[in-house]
Structure 1
Amino acid sequence: MKLAIVSDIHANIWALEAVLADISKQGADLVVNAGDILSGPLEPSATADLLMSLQLPTIRGNHERHLLDCERRPGHPSDQFAFEHTTQAQRDWIRGLPATLAVSDEIFMCHGTPADDLVYFLEQVDQQGCRMAAAVDIEARAAGIGHSLIICGHTHKPRAYAISGERLVVNPGSVGLQAYDDDQPYFHTIENGSPHARYAICEKTVHGWDVSHINISYDHHKAATTALKNGRADWATWLSTGRI
């Protein structure tokens, strides 16, 4: 089994197309999508159309919930933009996505943690910022999940972390956004240091799962220009540099 994992696309159609082209070269048996798909000042409708046509095993992230919440009240600018630039059919597709998914007997996928799409699986946020979570906390977040490969997203940080029971937690990083800041539960920043689109290949071997974190160059200038045109200078910087 050679598995490609994408996550946190955030409507970046140019990054997604580059990643899908590279996945095709890799010869993956299956591609899965770990959520946060459309929110962002880029191309949510085109991104939705492409993914709906591919019919990948896909879960929703926290931003899918936030986007749909815009039906009742105005949301965060990234979610509101995506809501206003998607069709009812595209929003209905999002509405039907599960929060978690057992892809097979060996592969489980969640966005944040199995219990909460807002909680970082492999990181901890406190008043000093964001850092790797303590082993005991990661183990607790994985409690009850017996699959040998546990996929998460949400933080945009590529990581692989071995836990008890010969299980491996893998975050593929973000296809579409390489830096951001957040004020929950405390202000913190995420930076990957370059604009490359990121995804992961996981391959089952006799010794366990091999993991390759892959960085793909793409036309990030076009993405940044689009963000700036749509009133998001912060996103333009994050997309251009992978830094805050």
Structure 2
Amino acid sequence: MRIALVSDIHGNLPALKAVVEDIARHNVNAIVNLGDSLSGPLMPLETAQFLMAQDWVQLAGNHERQLLTLPTSGQRGDSDAFAHARLGAAEFAWIASLTPRQRLSPEVLLCHGTPDSDLTYFLETVEPTQLRMATAAEIDARLGTVEAGTELVACGHTHLPRVMHASNGTLIVNPGSVGLQAYGDEHPYPHHVETGSPDARYALVERHDHGQWTCTLVTVPYDHTAMAALAAAHGRADWAHALATGRMP
């Protein structure tokens, strides 16, 4: 079983197409999209239409939930408001069909954040003064009591590619973000997430005999300068800098 994991596309269709082209070289059995697909000042409608045409397993991220549940533009952040204004009934119906957690097989669990939350960071922890790698105890607590036989959990949300093991041996993989390589957030404390390069990210995971898994974290170049210019044209200098550099201003 060879699976391509993508996540956090954030309306960046050129980055997604570059990733899909690279995935085509690897003879995968399935492509999985872990959510946060549309929100942002780029190409939400075109990205939605592309994703709706795929036969992938696809999840809702916190931004999909927010696009559906936050009732007014004043309650939506700028990225969600931009996407919401450009989507139509068909796209909202598709979003509503997605779930934040799904089992791909008896061995593989998919989630956006953690198995219990689309907002919690799984493999990182935010403290008042830093963003750090999660401890073993934190990872075990966030994994919770997933079903017996779970060998792999795939998650997204933090945009940081990372591979770790829980103490019970479960492999946890975050493929990183296809479409946005840096961002700032205020919760639970102000922090920046940065990958340090503008390349798109995804992961290849493969199950071998006796339940052994391997993972390859992949970076894919694409025309990030065009997407940075588009973000700037839509009034988002923060996104423009993140897309151009993989860092926050």
Same fold (TM over 0.5): yes
Partner Cα distance (1:100, 1:137) in 2: 20
Cross-structure match for 1:233:
237
**1:209 has 2:210 as partner:** no
Partner Cα distance (2:138, 2:91) in 1: 36
Superposed counterparts of 1:39-78, under 5 Å: 39-74=39-74, 75-78=76-79
- Secondary structure of 2:53's counterpart equals helix
Q: Does the aligned pair in 1 maintain the 2:180–2:243 contact within 8 Å?
A: yes
Partner Cα distance (2:68, 2:227) in 1: 24
Partner Cα distance (1:113, 1:175) in 2: 19
Report the CA distance between 1:206 and its aligned residue.
2.4
- Secondary structure of 1:166's counterpart equals coil
Partner Cα distance (2:71, 2:187) in 1: 23
Equivalent pairs: percent with the same residue?
47
Cross-structure match for 1:219:
223
Cross-structure match for 1:171:
174
Partner Cα distance (2:46, 2:175) in 1: 22
Partner Cα distance (2:27, 2:200) in 1: 18
Partner Cα distance (1:61, 1:217) in 2: 24
Report the CA distance between 1:73 and its aligned residue.
4.3
Q: Which runs of 5+ in 1 are unaligned?
A: none
Q: Which has the larger displacement, 89-98 or 210-219?
A: 89-98
Partner Cα distance (2:130, 2:184) in 1: 10
Cross-structure match for 1:38:
38
Partner Cα distance (1:53, 1:91) in 2: 15
Q: Does the aligned pair in 2 maintain the 1:12–1:176 contact within 8 Å?
A: yes
State the Cα RMSD in Å: 1.0
Partner Cα distance (2:36, 2:19) in 1: 16
Residue of structure 2 aligned with 1:183, choices 178, 182, 186: 186
Partner Cα distance (1:95, 1:206) in 2: 37
Matched AA of 1:211:
C
Cross-structure match for 1:243:
247
Matched AA of 1:144:
T
| Structure 2 length-normalised TM | 0.95
Report the CA distance between 1:87 and its aligned residue.
1.1
Cross-structure match for 2:95:
94
Q: Which runs of 5+ in 2 are unaligned?
A: none
Which digits, 9 at most, give the CA deviation of each residue in 1:172-194, with x for residues without a partner? 00000000010100001111010
Matched AA of 1:219:
D
Partner Cα distance (1:71, 1:16) in 2: 29
Q: Does the aligned pair in 2 maintain the 1:70–1:79 contact within 8 Å?
A: no
- Secondary structure of 1:231's counterpart equals coil
